[in-house]
Amino acid sequence: MTTEMSVFGLIGDASLVVQLVMLVLALASVLSWTVIVIKWRVLRAARESAETFEDRFWSGIDLGQLFEQTKKKDDASAIEQIFVSGFREYARLHKQQRLTPMAISDNVHRSMRVAMSREVDALETYLSFLATVGSTSPYVGLFGTVWGIMNSFMALSGATQATLSAVAPGIAEALIATAIGLVAAIPAVVAYNRYADDVERLVNRYDNFLEEFTTLLQRQAHAHQPDSPAATV
């Protein structure tokens, strides 16, 4: 391969429009890989923190003690934020003797739902960017390819002899845009599908914890009712 037909040589000789397309795709690829690495760390930390907290939660530790320890953390995880939100609401409403256990559990449930919604939104941040890069990059690259091939054939109109060697460089440089588009799109699509599945699994985990915690607090609220059998023992 001659220097003129090398990849970098073809990129350098490409038209301005094709070069701009390649630049946009290269930037999209760099940004998508940055998001891929960041989201991998965030989701891994969320899974590990959920496992650690659930082990502590079901170990038999006093919930009031766990609440005091957790609310002081500056870097509380998503499941910890859900727990703190629910227990804080429970402690506030439990002081109001006029509320029934069902009313308390309903309010606690809504409070944790709101907290979970905020945490899920944070987990899903930038996933739409990966989806956009994955779905649009091939078409952007194809646009650059079509533009380059169009220029190659337009150049033939003024040539006295049309040969393959005359259009090969233009077609080759145009096809590089499609290749860069695929390089940007494939990792983004794979990462989006993987991370979307991870987020869904975490949401199910948070939802299960939320329901179990609500049931536990409802039982405690019933137990502390003045007319309940547990309260009179």
* H or E element that contains 51: helix 16-57
Q: How many residues does the chain have?
A: 233
* Secondary-structure percent of the chain, ordered helix, strand, coil, rounded to 5: 80, 0, 20
- The pLDDT value recorded for residue 105 is 83
pLDDT band at 231 (very low <50, low <70, confident <90, very high): very low
The pLDDT tens digits for 125-151 are: 999 999 999 999 999 988 888 887 777
Average the pLDDT over 110-131 and give the result.
93
Residue with tokens 């703190």: 84
pLDDT band at 155 (very low <50, low <70, confident <90, very high): low
Rg over CA atoms, the chain: 29
Integer Cα distance of 112 and 106 in angstroms:
10
SS3 227: coil
Asked whether 9 and 164 are in contact (CB, 8 A), the reply is no
| Backbone phi, psi, residue 124, to 5° | -85, 0
- The pLDDT value recorded for residue 229 is 44
SS3 225: coil
Integer Cα distance of 140 and 80 in angstroms:
42
Residue with tokens 């709101």: 114
Mean per-residue pLDDT of the chain: 83
Is pLDDT at 34 greater than 50 in this prediction? yes
Q: For CA atoms 164, 170, 176, 181, give the dihedral sign.
A: negative
Asked whether 78 and 44 are in contact (CB, 8 A), the reply is no
Asked whether 86 and 210 are in contact (CB, 8 A), the reply is yes
Tell me, what amino acid is at 206? Y
Q: Two tokens at 83?
A: 């727990």
Integer Cα distance of 79 and 24 in angstroms:
38
- The pLDDT value recorded for residue 3 is 39
The pLDDT tens digits for 41-60 are: 999 999 999 999 999 999 88
- Lowest-pLDDT range of 102-106, 179-183, 193-197, 201-205: 102-106
